[in-house]
Amino acid sequence: MHDFRYVNGRLYCEGVSLESLALKHGTPLYVYSQHTLLEHFRKLDSALSEMDHLVCFAVKANSNLAVLSALAGAGAGFDIVSEGELRRVIAAGGDTSKCAFAGVGKTESEIAFALKAGIHTFNVESEPELERINRVAGKLKKVAPIAIRVNPNVNARTHAKITTGTYENKFGIAFERVEEVYARASKLRNIKLRGVQMHIGSQLTQVKPFAEAVAKVLPLVRSLKQRYGIEFFSIGGGIGIIYNPALASGNAAWWRRPAAKGLLTPARYADALTPLLKPLGLKILLEPGRFIVGNAGVLLTRVEYVKRTGKKNFVIVDAAMNDLIRPAFYDSYHEILPLVKRRGAEIPSDIVGPICESGDYFAKDRPLHKVSEGQHLALLSAGAYGFVMASNYNARPLAAEVLVNGTKVCVVRDRQPVEDIWKFEKLPPWLA
């Protein structure tokens, strides 16, 4: 599943001890396993091998150039949501003709940039956007390849903040209106109807909502193919990962656990969807982010203080919600392990950061072996929506990022120098 495991009581990423990385590069430190992320990409890619397909990595999950470059080398396309992400793909050597541009708020200049870069498609999220793309393409004397994003109104039964496929959400065009919008689009001179797209949500742990949404949209896709000769159907991203191994397989920790039962694996995903999709005879696009990179990254942190209040044991670490906001934002679970394995009783502990907010925690009442100042912990499954959601809150510099490949290590992003945080700020003349 991933390449983080204990070897002689020390937590390793592939062939490198994480303690050695924490000591050498400092903390907070993101560490990514190249083997894990490529393995996840290949597993998904090969599970779909029965169909013509393209796996477009969702850049929003992790946009480090090294991660993008590794995936580009493996043949991945990219799902992008801004000019910045497209520029990152280009900087990493990715193929723009494999980029799908999603997002409800594409600006005119973003559309123009993407048209000039020769992207694969715009995933159109509204009727005004369709008109705007046509207008911008007209000005540039180009034809814009598009897919309409269908909102299938299917509940993905995931966290409310990452559900996208119901009419409660701002995404896509309502299922019932889609045919009309295609009819309009087919009349626009600078638009080429290339496909149809949907995405119902993120961190789905069951195959059922995917199958339900695909089955619901299938008749529409068939008719669009017949009428407009579209070439592809993008079924979005959303494949979930295991954050809490105890929930996934009784109480067994992941390093003791054989294959967890009932999980959403690439094989189960493909087995459920291939029979539905293959007869369409269309190219199938996917936009996974978390599945590829989520379990390929950890955040290393140093214990600064251990503090007992009347009721609680607090472990205060040097990483904070500005480095990894998921627990504060989604109440999400991240497995927390010591880099050097400990023995003895586990104490229910709150693992918290130094930021002045009660929401700045990574875990509450989590059983943890006794730790003390200077020891290190790893927050697992931090490869997706970790660094990319980091901020400078409390004037804290952005963490460094390291990529491991076997026994090779490369710092793929330097720790931000603290002065950098206010580099673009200025004093007005009357205060200078």
Residue 269 CB, nearest approach to ligand LLP (Å): 11
Query: Which residue stretch of 44-52, 207-215, 235-243, 338-346 sits at the interface with ligand LLP (rule: CB under 6 A)?
Result: 235-243
Q: Which residue of 290, 366, 376, 396 would you call a contact of ligand LLP, by CB under 6 A?
A: 290
402 lies in the site for ligand LLP, by CB under 6 A: no
Which lies closer to ligand LLP via its Cβ, residue 252 or residue 267? 267
Which lies closer to ligand LLP via its Cβ, residue 58 or residue 398? 58
User: Helix, strand or coil for residue 405?
Assistant: strand
Backbone angles phi, psi at 53, to 5 degrees: -155, 165
How many Å from the N-terminal Cα to the C-terminal Cα in the chain? Answer: 56
Report the distance separating Cα 60 and Cα 325, nearest Å: 15
Which lies closer to ligand LLP via its Cβ, residue 79 or residue 110? 79
120 lies in the site for ligand LLP, by CB under 6 A: no
Residue 249 CB, nearest approach to ligand LLP (Å): 22
Which residue in the list 13, 56, 99, 356 is annotated as catalytic? 356
Number of residues that bind ligand LLP (CB under 6 A): 22
79 lies in the site for ligand LLP, by CB under 6 A: yes
48 close to 286: Cβ distance less than 8 angstroms? yes
Whole-number Cα distances in Å, 361 to 40, 60, 346 = 29, 23, 19
360 lies in the site for ligand LLP, by CB under 6 A: no
280 lies in the site for ligand LLP, by CB under 6 A: no
19 lies in the site for ligand LLP, by CB under 6 A: no
Residue 372 CB, nearest approach to ligand LLP (Å): 31
Residue 220 CB, nearest approach to ligand LLP (Å): 18
Going by their DSSP bridges, the two strands 121-124 and 232-234 should be labelled as: unpaired
Name 386's Cβ contacts closer than 8 Å, sequence gap at least 6.
Answer: 30, 62, 297, 299, 323, 324, 326
Long-range contacts formed by 162-168: CB under 8 A, 24+ apart: 162/201, 162/202, 162/203, 162/330, 163/200, 163/201, 164/199, 164/200, 164/201, 164/202, 165/198, 165/199, 165/200, 165/201, 165/213
202 lies in the site for ligand LLP, by CB under 6 A: yes
| Contact positions with ligand LLP (CB under 6 A) in 51-70 | 58, 61
407 close to 417: Cβ distance less than 8 angstroms? no
Query: Which residue stretch of 213-221, 288-296, 393-401, 417-425 sits at the interface with ligand LLP (rule: CB under 6 A)?
Result: 288-296
| Contact positions with ligand LLP (CB under 6 A) in 161-200 | 162, 164, 199
114 lies in the site for ligand LLP, by CB under 6 A: no
Report the distance separating Cα 124 and Cα 145, nearest Å: 10
Query: Which residue stretch of 90-98, 287-295, 341-349, 358-366 sits at the interface with ligand LLP (rule: CB under 6 A)?
Result: 287-295
Q: Which residue of 62, 203, 205, 322 would you call a contact of ligand LLP, by CB under 6 A?
A: 203
288 lies in the site for ligand LLP, by CB under 6 A: yes
Report the distance separating Cα 406 and Cα 404, nearest Å: 6
The beta strand positions in 25-120, using DSSP E, are 29-33, 53-58, 77-80, 99-101
Name 399's Cβ contacts closer than 8 Å, sequence gap at least 6.
Answer: 27, 28, 29, 30, 299, 319, 323, 387, 390, 415, 416
Which lies closer to ligand LLP via its Cβ, residue 66 or residue 235? 235
Buried b (16+ CB within 10 A) or exposed e, 263-282: bbbbeebbebbbeebeebeb
27 lies in the site for ligand LLP, by CB under 6 A: no
CA nearest to 178, candidates 203, 200, 150: 150
Q: Which residue of 37, 55, 102, 337 would you call a contact of ligand LLP, by CB under 6 A?
A: 102
Query: Which residue stretch of 10-18, 63-71, 173-181, 233-241 sits at the interface with ligand LLP (rule: CB under 6 A)?
Result: 233-241
Burial class (CB in 10 A: 0-12, 13-18, 19+), 135: middle
Catalytic residue check, 356 = yes
| Contact positions with ligand LLP (CB under 6 A) in 317-346 | 326, 330
198 close to 236: Cβ distance less than 8 angstroms? yes
Query: Which residue stretch of 236-244, 262-270, 275-283, 312-320 sits at the interface with ligand LLP (rule: CB under 6 A)?
Result: 236-244
Which lies closer to ligand LLP via its Cβ, residue 94 or residue 237? 237
243 lies in the site for ligand LLP, by CB under 6 A: no
Residues that bind ligand LLP (CB under 6 A): 58, 61, 79, 102, 162, 164, 199, 202-203, 236-239, 287-291, 326, 330, 384-385
Provide the annotated active-site residues.
356
